[in-house]
Amino acid sequence: MKTIAALALIAGLQGQTLMINSGGQATGGFLTDQGFSGGAAYGPASQADPGWKAQTGIYSTLRYGTAFSYDFAMPNGSCSVKLDLIENRPAVSTLGVTAASVGARVFTVTVNGVSTGPIDILVVAGAQTPYSPAPIIAPVTNGRLHLDFLATAGNASVSGIEATCTPAPDGLSCSSLTPAAGVVLVVTLKDGSCLPVSMLTAPGFMPTNIQAIWTRPDDSGNLNVQSVFTTLTASPQ
């Protein structure tokens, strides 16, 4: 039996976006670096290599270190966190700047307990090339959005953080019936009404272990389902 984590996003609610220019000042909608603990800011003026000096916007600065974190106040709900990364070292040593090498910078990022797994920017994007891994979808349950950067080789680094967060509304509790293979969940609301929700799954998988379903009335009185944290388990063949 194979199990994979999954999140289905259905009918969005109004949320908020937080954009941080790590290691730098406000630019292009990004806020000045803030909310951090540890690490150090680094900018193009700190490096002789013209390849990184040519970077603009958020990719012209970064925060780096073997271990550092960011922490922000955020309403309980769920957040999609995009990391803006760049390997600032050149592909070839130049002007006294040592070239980047595979395995020299490897790190993980954990957002409220949800981890990216190891990241080696040079392997996935090359030197001095902006890169963003798949967004991290993480629950917010204690009013804080917390990111931990931890290096296993060299230094972790980040140029920008983009968090799009949706609050979990108060006043409605939800539960689910055991879903049929693959597609439908049934949400039971406080008033006893039931709301069927379609959910896309990979072929041969069925959703189990439903952890949270958030709903709220919209302005028209209809119910929108925001998100379903679940596990997809391979169906017996």
DSSP per position, 138-152: EEE-SSEEEEEEEEE
Where in the chain do CATH 2.60.120.260 domains reside?
A: 16-167
Q: Does the structure show a pLDDT above 50 at 206?
A: no
CB burial readout 182-204, b (16+ within 10 A) else e? beebebeeeeeeebebebebeee
Q: Which CATH architecture has domain 16-167?
A: Sandwich (2.60)
Report field, pTM of the whole predicted structure over 0.95 = no
pLDDT attached to residue 54 = 76
User: Model confidence at 147, in pLDDT bands (50, 70, 90)?
Assistant: very high
User: Model confidence at 165, in pLDDT bands (50, 70, 90)?
Assistant: confident
The tokens for 18 are 């937080």
pLDDT attached to residue 97 = 81
